[in-house]
Amino acid sequence: MSITPMWRVDRDGSMFTDKKAAEEHDRMLELADGITGMLEANFKIDEQLAEEIGLLMSRNKDILAKAFKGKPEVLQEIQSGSEPAADNTVDIREAVA
Amino acid sequence: MSITPMWRVDRDGSMFTDKKAAEEHDRMLELADGITGMLEANFKIDEQLAEEIGLLMSRNKDILAKAFKGKPEVLQEIQSGSEPAADNTVDIREAVA
């Protein structure tokens, strides 16, 4: 018999084996929802666009926090294509290229 | 003869008698431009909407900084109608109402 404890993030149903990762993901979605809600409360904006902006900003929350604390130039680092490096390890293919 | 030293914020031409206020305004516009640029670099978005979002977020930078540092619930305080209180004095009419 083999069973594995899993953690489900109720906001989007995604599953995690690691509790901390699940909590992190839930906090990310909560912040994204907050930004989306703030945009929709203050602007006539397309719902999907508001959600995508919320997610992009939430995924880059550390960069955004720096920008709002007086370093707006860091905003240029945000590219929706690239996931922010979870840590500062360089992709090995880039490193050896 | 009466002449007054003024400070012009080149980004939008606004004039200030107080240098610190001019610098503050310039930083606010720089952050707003940074957010607008980030939105336009990552989304198909109406230019004016991107500018209005940039200004709203920049004007509420302290609330946004808190939200990105783990308190997303503060985002509900942001209302585009109300200018954030420059300081914590309550409008006297409200206080005595």
Query: Which pLDDT does position A83 carry in this prediction?
Result: 56
User: What is the CA angle A64-A68-B69, rounded to 5?
Assistant: 60
Query: Which pLDDT does position A93 carry in this prediction?
Result: 55
Cβ distance B41 to A65 less than 8 Å, yes or no, reads no
Q: Report the residue of chain B nearest A59, measured CA to CA.
A: B68
Question: Rounded mean pLDDT of B43-55?
Answer: 97
Query: Which pLDDT does position A88 carry in this prediction?
Result: 46
Query: Which pLDDT does position A79 carry in this prediction?
Result: 79
pLDDT band at B18 (very low <50, low <70, confident <90, very high): very high
pLDDT tens-digit map of A19-32: 999 999 999 999 99
Query: Which pLDDT does position B88 carry in this prediction?
Result: 45
Query: Which pLDDT does position B41 carry in this prediction?
Result: 96
Q: Rounded to a whole number, what is the largest CA-CA distance in chain A?
A: 55
pLDDT band at B83 (very low <50, low <70, confident <90, very high): low
| Distance (Å) from the alpha carbon of B65 to chain A's nearest alpha carbon | 5
Cβ distance B34 to A68 less than 8 Å, yes or no, reads no
| Distance (Å) from the alpha carbon of A15 to chain B's nearest alpha carbon | 22
Query: Which pLDDT does position B72 carry in this prediction?
Result: 96
* B68 closest CB neighbour out of A68, A75, A78: A68
Six-digit token string for A9: 């993030």
Strands B7-9 vs B14-16: parallel, antiparallel or unpaired: antiparallel
Cβ distance A31 to B68 less than 8 Å, yes or no, reads yes
The residue among B28, B68, B75, B82 with the most chain A CBs within 10 A of its CB, best to mutate, is: B68
Residues of chain A with pLDDT under 50: 87-89
Q: Report the residue of chain A nearest B63, measured CA to CA.
A: A68
Whether residue B40 has pLDDT greater than 60 = yes
| Partners of residue B52 on adjacent β-strands | none
Cβ distance B79 to A52 less than 8 Å, yes or no, reads no
Query: Which pLDDT does position B52 carry in this prediction?
Result: 97
ipTM surpassing 0.90: no
How is B48-74 classified by DSSP, letter by letter?
A: HHHHHHHHHHHHTHHHHHHHHTT-GGG
